[in-house]
Structure 1
Amino acid sequence: MAKSSIVIDVELDEGRVPSSIEWKASESTAEKPQQAKAFLLSLWDGTDKTALRIDLWTQKMMVDEMADFYYQTLMTMADSFDRATRNTELVTDMKNFAKLFFAKFQEQQMKANKLETGK
């Protein structure tokens, strides 16, 4: 049986806040570890029927990047759910929510920018 590994290294500052995230995969063609500003990891515990998760992001992650990251994550989660269940109604609802989420974020950003610039 084949085995594949993904290694995620997180460097913490003195306050234990992530300052750097690097990852590498055993089957990757990349020669050196790749940089990331954030990651979300979810694991399903079938015994306890609970989701285990780790959400980390570096100080360099900007708010607009976080919104885009969540939008893309929600969309890909919907795609995964579609492949697993073929429940197009729920997949459509998930994608519509992701689009609404991102549109509301952009609207909030525009309002905040107008307040900052006075225009």
Structure 2
Amino acid sequence: MRKAEIKLTVELDDNNVPENITWESTDGENQDALPVKSMMLGLWDPGYQNTLRIDLWTKDMPYDEMKIFFCQNLLQMGDAFLRASGGDPMAEKLMGDLKDYCEHFSEKMNIMNK
């Protein structure tokens, strides 16, 4: 069995606010830690039938970038669900609805061209 490791490192200030976030993977082409400004990690707990989440962003993450980050995450979760569903027609319909919502979201947040 092959294993891969994903490592997240969060540097906090004196008030426990993230100043720097880096990530690295043993499976990636680049073995160096890469800096990021925000992360969302969702894990499924089968025992409690609940999602465990870690959402972090650095204090220098601009609000305009945060809006784009959220919109792109919504779309990527929809794409992942569609792939996981194996072509379920209802999932395809819901993905269309989600794309419509994300278009509305991006229009309201003024990020249409980003």
TM-score in terms of structure 2 length: 0.90
Q: Give structure 1 stretches of 5+ with no counterpart.
A: 108-119
Aligned residue number for residue 70 of structure 1: 70
Structure 1 moving runs of 4+ over 4 Å:
none
Larger Rg: 1
Q: Give structure 2 stretches of 5+ with no counterpart.
A: none
Aligned residue number for residue 101 of structure 2: 97
Aligned length, in residue pairs: 107
Contact 2:24 2:31 in 1 (8 A): no
| 3-state SS of paired residue (1:106) | coil
Letter matched to residue 76 of structure 2: T
Question: Following the alignment from structure 2 to structure 1, what is the Cα–Cα distance between the partners of residues 83 and 100?
Answer: 17
Aligned residue number for residue 33 of structure 1: 33
Question: Following the alignment from structure 1 to structure 2, what is the Cα–Cα distance between the partners of residues 48 and 3?
Answer: 26
TM-score in terms of structure 1 length: 0.86
| 3-state SS of paired residue (2:21) | strand
| 3-state SS of paired residue (2:109) | helix
Tell me the CA shift for residue 31 of structure 1: 3.5
Question: Following the alignment from structure 1 to structure 2, what is the Cα–Cα distance between the partners of residues 15 and 99?
Answer: 36
Aligned residue number for residue 58 of structure 2: 58
